[in-house]
Amino acid sequence: MPAGFGAVPPGFNCQPEAEEEEYDNGSLQDLYNYDGTTNWYAQASDKCFSIGGTLPPEVVNYNCDDSLKMAGINMTCDELQKLFEKPDVGTPSGIKPPPLPPIPPLQHNCDSPTPEGYNQMAFQGKDIIYIHGLQLKHICERAIFKPGAGSNWPDHPYEFYFGYYKNIANDNWKPHIDYFLTGKGNLNRYLIVTYNCSQKADVAVHAVLSQIREAMETGEGVVADPRDPRKKECFGRNYIIVSTSTGSLVGDVALSIANKTKTDPSLQSKYGNIGLIADRCKGHMAVRGAMSGSNLATILLNTQIPAFLAQKATLGLTDGLYQTDFSFGTNRNLLLESILYDLVPQTTRIKWGSYIDDVPVPVMTIASGHPKSMLIPFFFKVHPGFDDGVLSMDCSSGRIHGSTIHPSQYIATSPLKVFDMGIPVLRASCYYLDQRVPSGGFAIASTPFLSLTGMVQPVAGVLPTIQFKNHFNFVQSPAEHVLPQKSSYFDCYYWPTQGPNGPSNYEEVLAVSDPSLYSTGIVSSAIIPQMRESLKFLAIYYPAIKIKYRRGIPVPTVYWKRFYIWKRTYHKLKDNCMYDCDYGYKYLFKN
């Protein structure tokens, strides 16, 4: 029992014991008049969100170099980090890029009204265009001469509309669509577009814009519910892009280029006069989007990287499906001519940063970080700060960051209070080590004020960050980067992360910072009451004496007083079986 808390009545024999407990305090809106934005935390007075705690031996005794050696990587952490500062990625082999014919302007300017009842569907019933992420499978199978994998855009359109690339894109998106769209009763029409990851990003953009134009003009590739009276007619008069990974980069650049063709003669001569494609788009939901590239691409292209590290990067980018050695010869030339060259962060920022910064529609980010890769110390230096195994959260949160090795960060009121005492110690240690910055700060997720588990962070100050224009944070979660392929979503777990079951998906956090997103209907205000406060703590309840007056007579009365050993406060979205993308389909683009 803590000393100095007064005597207890004689003969009182109850001995206090430490008890770990969890409480749900209710809606943040009811508790604090929370406005649905993370700006609230900057003005919030000290509400004693965190108390006490200890750093475990896994953190105190952690040595980066020793951890790399245990993982079979014969390099120091400093040596590994230097490979990302000024990478030698070589130069493309000199293969002439394919001529890209101008995309014909849209001719079929019909207007088919949205059927009654569709405003209750995802995105208020708007059409959806899906853009897949990096498919390293394209390059791996090109290296072994698999039929179809050697076909290029625009020479072999069949493989993109019906064949090899289309089949891979359909397989990639099927689990997602089956669960989040059709599985939830949404009847939105949709189109899955594809591109060849063995070609550069400008070719990918041309392929995607061509397929969108064809779908708008003829309905090619459109999937419509049999009950939809419109069938495939007038597709895309109002549409939303849903993308993931590299697809978010391609989607942003495609919209920006389409918009610029209205005023830029050089882009118009290359891509055609296709401004209507941008005008008809009402928003972009970027799920773990590669807006500023990935250091895994740097590894694969870096001439200084040992072959075994290139193999680890290949495994990471293919979710363990391929182990191809791309470090030399013909395979290396395949990489230099592929979209991976555009994904080296330095290249992404220089070549495509201005286009991403000029995207004409609101881009809502769904970003994630998880502890799976933290168990492989190699990733501590590959991705700065929190990451999802492939992308840093700076990247997937749409932040412009000038360094590949130093994440956006905040200064903590107490480093001890950054450690999450309310989750298993191994997982908490992995998060803490990944979040810790050598300068003494701590990396931020989509917001500096809430961790990936929803724990309120002890923020004393935030170092300046810059967001790409028209890019806004929406939800952050502890999900893996790669879309599930062999497993279903139906177990309410982010299944690939931290062990066989992963963390239950009750840790999604609302990360909106701009209140205008609610007033314009880009984000439905109905999500605000879903943010709730819970407490996890370890406490001792000890007896104390309080004087109560009964009929004017003082009577000593025993009551139990709580003494915190540690406490952590969590602010999370309340639905325990909704994934981060569920919130996007339910609450985004209702305008």
Model confidence at 382, pLDDT cuts 50, 70, 90, reads confident
Tokens of 96: 């002439």
Q: Count CB atoms within 10 A of the CB of residue 460.
A: 11
Question: Please, is 155 exposed, middle or buried when counting C-beta atoms within 10 Å of its C-beta (0-12, 13-18, 19+)?
Answer: exposed
pLDDT > 50? residue 29: yes
pLDDT in tens, 93-107: 667 888 999 999 988
pLDDT > 50? residue 7: yes
Give every CB contact of residue 291 below 8 A, 6+ residues apart in sequence.
Answer: 248, 249, 252, 348, 356, 395, 396, 398, 468, 471
Strands 51-52 and 18-27: unpaired
Give the whole-angstrom CA distance, residue 264 versus residue 41: 43
Q: What is the structure's pLDDT at 1?
A: 46
Q: What is the structure's pLDDT at 212?
A: 98
Whether omega for the bond prior to residue 154 falls within 30 degrees of 0, making it cis, is yes
Q: What is the structure's pLDDT at 93?
A: 65
Tokens of 487: 């497993």
Angle between helices 136-143 and 307-317 (to 10 degrees): 120
SS3 364: strand
* Cβ-contact 230, 189 below 8 angstroms: yes
Tokens of 534: 């819970």
* Cβ-contact 115, 234 below 8 angstroms: no
Q: What is the structure's pLDDT at 542?
A: 76
Instruction: State the sign of the Cα–Cα–Cα–Cα dihedral 398, 435, 478, 46.
Output: negative
Closest CA to 450 of 586, 578, 536, 568: 568
pLDDT in tens, 238-265: 999 999 999 999 999 999 999 999 999 9
* Maximum C-alpha span of the chain: 97
* Cβ-contact 290, 395 below 8 angstroms: yes
Higher pLDDT pick, 435 / 251? 251
Query: How many Cα atoms sit within 13 Å of 378 on the Cβ side?
Result: 23
Q: What is the structure's pLDDT at 373?
A: 45
Q: Count CB atoms within 10 A of the CB of residue 269.
A: 11
User: Sheet of 409-412: strands edge to edge?
Assistant: 442-443, 409-412, 459-462
Domain ranges of the chain: 57-529+577-587
pLDDT in tens, 436-491: 888 889 999 999 999 999 999 999 999 988 999 999 999 999 888 876 554 556 66
Give the whole-angstrom CA distance, residue 317 versus residue 313: 6
**40-44, 51-55, 225-229, 361-365: which range is least confident on average?**
40-44
pLDDT > 80? residue 19: no
* Cβ-contact 168, 196 below 8 angstroms: no
